[in-house]
Amino acid sequence: MTFRRFVATLLEVERASSRLAMVRMLAEAFRELPPEEVPLAVLLLQGRVAPEFEGLEFGVAEKEAVKALALVLGRDEAEVARAVKEKGDIGAYAREVLPEREGGLTVRQVYGELRAIAEDSGKGSQLRKRERLARLLAAASPEEAAVILRTVTGRLRLGVGDATVLEALALAFLGDRGKRPLLERAYNLTSDLAHVARLALEGEEALRAVKLEVGKPVRMMLAERLPGPEQIMEKLGPHYAEHKYDGERVQVHFNGERFWVYSRRLENITHQYPDLLAALGEVQQEPFIVEAEAVVVDPVTGEMRPFQNVLNRKVKHLTPELLEKYPVKGFVFEILYHDGKTLIDRPYTERRQALERWFRPHERLELSSKRFVETTEELVQFFDASIEAGCEGLVCKKPDGEYEAGKRGFKWVKYKRGIAGKLSDTLDLVVVGAWLGRGKRAGSYGSLLAAAYNPDEDRFETLTKVGSGFSDEDLGQVLPRRLDPYRREERHPRVWSLLEPDVWFDPALVVEVEAQEITLSPNHTCAYGVVQEGRGLALRFPRFVRYRDDKSPEEATSTKEVVEMYRNQWA
Ligand code: ATP
């Protein structure tokens, strides 16, 4: 397919009136592409040339892209830079000034060039990247150049979520968008959309046969909530409760030679945990995939320190001093692969036995503390013990539950301390808009419009305005710095809102919010019409708690969870 046709589809998709229309347009384009170009197109749709977990970035700053464009236009760099700044978007500017060209580039050619740009590194790479980009732009039509420039500078935001791509692939190659769950399963096991596209092209059997692979992150299983211990006992029956450690969740892969560490968002964070990996390498030489909570401990007393401490490791160059100041201990709670065997479909009890066989004592490693509980009293007792030990509470696990990749279900239920007069759990919401501040907050944002995620519709539905809980520093510097890159003129196509904030944002930043209760509201779209016709759900007395950079927008609290929290709040 010509890249031109592909770009035309993208523009149509951006303007689509509904998600279903989007799915149909994408499916049609997928069908038209030669099979070997489908996975490439799927990556380009995400603005990437490799799955996110591979960490392959373009390494082209906007300044460099401006230089490449100036080269093609034969104009002065400073002049082009000024014009781009004025226009606010390099893509829009390129579309305006580049001459009309027939082009004739194919999807494969553009992908190949972009991939070469991303892979080039080391001495002299900046110049080579710039020249390659300029050559590509010189062969492109203005519309194509706009997409290429937005892609390499990380600004291609099409508003097509993974769920929509999966549904379009299901429609294109299995003839039925209702088969999305089959693709979702493959995606949950491999986290690789391009790979899922390849499998979808082969057909249903290939999708069903997909297995996890050491090195490719498995999308993480998550826990449900229930209002209290009685309800947990009722739902799970006698079960295993484990301490809920408050650190960073890590999924560690080892193929016998090489380690990979993935975060909740499936980012490659291997470089962040050299000490933990050294410990794991000492206890096991056979390939494995395990999950642990990495918790910073006091270097002197060995006591667990709160979550915020691990954030100190999120730096580009982790120095020996930082490692010494913030040592971590890994509390291992899950095993997905060992001894050449995939354990993901095995029941909890069997996985736990395998984990205990896998484990060897080490000063930096511990198995998560667990207890078999048969009564509410035993559960409460173990909960109290967990708090005393410095944990957040418990994660209660159903003995026969398999590991459900990428799902939040009742095979795991979390039990955290409820704070009097407040909802027993906080919500993680996506910032989709904001109102400008007045008075003391003039020049910054006064309050944010925050949304929950609806995975069925693949869209963000508003739940609350949040204006309290921010420090002066948050308001003055942190929020503008974090949010300004996502500002946009109009509502993002994946956001559903009845309110009209002063500014809109791409759904990107996730914040943790606490509140007193959840109420019905005619102004918010979260779970609109689910509890009552003509009403959505809203938070009462919301308060910002912290930034959740460990979560992607699709990992925010789901609209279904909000409905459950609404129904459970009086239980
Ligand atoms: P929260 O904000 O409450 O930590 P979350 O959305 O990050 O929730 P959940 O799946 O709801 O994640 O809660 C389980 C989380 O608890 C896991 O993601 C993991 O990071 C952490 N955790 C700590 N100890 C355990 C354990 N023993 N078993 C499973 N998860 C654990």
Closest CA to 241 of 369, 330, 425, 387: 369
Quick one: pLDDT band at residue 440, thresholds 50, 70, 90? confident
Mutate to test the pocket of ligand 1, among 224, 245, 403 (most ligand atoms within 8 A of CB): 245
pLDDT tens readout for residues 183-210: 999 999 999 999 999 999 999 999 999 9
pLDDT at 395 over 70: yes
Mutate to test the pocket of ligand 1, among 219, 329, 395 (most ligand atoms within 8 A of CB): 395
pLDDT tens readout for residues 155-171: 887 778 899 999 999 99
The C-alpha atoms of residue 76 and residue 93 are separated, in whole angstroms, by: 15
Closest CA to 41 of 152, 149, 194: 194
Atom 20 in ligand 1: residue holding the nearest Cα: 249
Residue 382 pLDDT: 96
The C-alpha atoms of residue 98 and residue 497 are separated, in whole angstroms, by: 36
Q: Are 505 and 483 in contact (CB under 8 A)?
A: yes
Farthest-apart Cα atoms in the chain, separation:
77
pLDDT at 66 over 90: yes
The C-alpha atoms of residue 193 and residue 165 are separated, in whole angstroms, by: 8
pLDDT at 83 over 60: yes
The C-alpha atoms of residue 342 and residue 214 are separated, in whole angstroms, by: 10
Q: Are 465 and 450 in contact (CB under 8 A)?
A: yes
Tell me the mean pLDDT in the region 403-414.
94
Residue 367 pLDDT: 97
CA of 54: how far to CAs of 192, 260, 270, 292, 302, in Å? 10, 10, 11, 21, 34
Q: For residue 394, how far is the Cα from the chain centroid?
A: 24
**Higher per-residue pLDDT: 535 or 423:** 535
Residue 286 pLDDT: 94
pLDDT above 70 covers a percentage of the chain that reads: 99
Closest CA to 514 of 494, 483, 542, 495: 542
Atom 24 in ligand 1: residue holding the nearest Cα: 244
pLDDT tens readout for residues 311-340: 899 888 899 999 999 999 999 999 999 989
Q: Could you identify the atom of ligand 1 that is nearest to the CA of residue 220? A: 18
Q: Are 469 and 480 in contact (CB under 8 A)?
A: no
| Other residues' Cβ atoms within 10 Å of the Cβ of residue 496 | 20
Closest CA to 559 of 467, 491, 459, 432: 459
Residue 510 pLDDT: 96
CATH of domain 427-568: 2.40.50.140
**Higher per-residue pLDDT: 418 or 459:** 459
Closest CA to 311 of 366, 372, 263: 263
Residue 1 pLDDT: 79
Indicate the pairing of strand 536-540 with strand 517-521: antiparallel
> Half-sphere exposure (CA, 13 Å, Cβ side) for 389?
19
The residue type at 425 = D
Residue 115 pLDDT: 98
Domain residue ranges in the chain: 222-416, 427-568
Q: Is 283 in a helix, a strand, or coil?
A: helix
CATH of 222-416, one of 3.20.20.70, 3.40.50.300, 3.30.470.30, 3.90.79.10: 3.30.470.30
Quick one: pLDDT band at residue 571, thresholds 50, 70, 90? low
Mutate to test the pocket of ligand 1, among 262, 265, 333 (most ligand atoms within 8 A of CB): 333
Q: Are 330 and 275 in contact (CB under 8 A)?
A: no
Question: Could you write out the DSSP letters of every residue in 125-172?
Answer: HHHHHHHHHHHHHHTS-HHHHHHHHHHHTT-------HHHHHHHHHHH
> What's the pTM?
0.83
pLDDT at 301 over 90: no
Atom 10 in ligand 1: residue holding the nearest Cα: 222
The C-alpha atoms of residue 529 and residue 526 are separated, in whole angstroms, by: 9
pLDDT at 420 over 60: no
Quick one: pLDDT band at residue 97, thresholds 50, 70, 90? very high
- Helix 162-174 vs helix 193-202: angle between axes, to the nearest 10 degrees? 10
Instruction: Find the 355 Cα to ligand 1 centroid distance in Å.
Output: 18
The C-alpha atoms of residue 31 and residue 24 are separated, in whole angstroms, by: 11
Backbone φ and ψ for 273, nearest 5 degrees, come out as: -130, 50
pLDDT at 424 over 80: no
Instruction: Find the 415 Cα to ligand 1 centroid distance in Å.
Output: 10
Q: Are 464 and 516 in contact (CB under 8 A)?
A: no
Alpha helices in 424-494 (DSSP H): 472-473, 479-483
Q: Is 44 in a helix, a strand, or coil?
A: helix
Q: Which residues approach ligand 1 with their CB closer than 6 A?
A: 222-223, 242-245, 249, 293, 333, 368, 395, 414
Stated length of the chain = 571
Q: Are 280 and 365 in contact (CB under 8 A)?
A: yes
The C-alpha atoms of residue 519 and residue 267 are separated, in whole angstroms, by: 35
Closest CA to 552 of 425, 405, 428, 467: 428
Quick one: pLDDT band at residue 14, thresholds 50, 70, 90? confident
Average per-residue pLDDT for the chain: 93
List, in order, residues 6 or more apart from 139 with CB less than 8 Å away: 101, 103, 104, 105
Instruction: Find the 137 Cα to ligand 1 centroid distance in Å.
Output: 46
| Other residues' Cβ atoms within 10 Å of the Cβ of residue 10 | 20
pLDDT tens readout for residues 230-244: 999 999 999 999 999
Backbone φ and ψ for 378, nearest 5 degrees, come out as: -65, -40
Dihedral sign (CA 427, 433, 435, 437): positive
Residue 425 pLDDT: 83
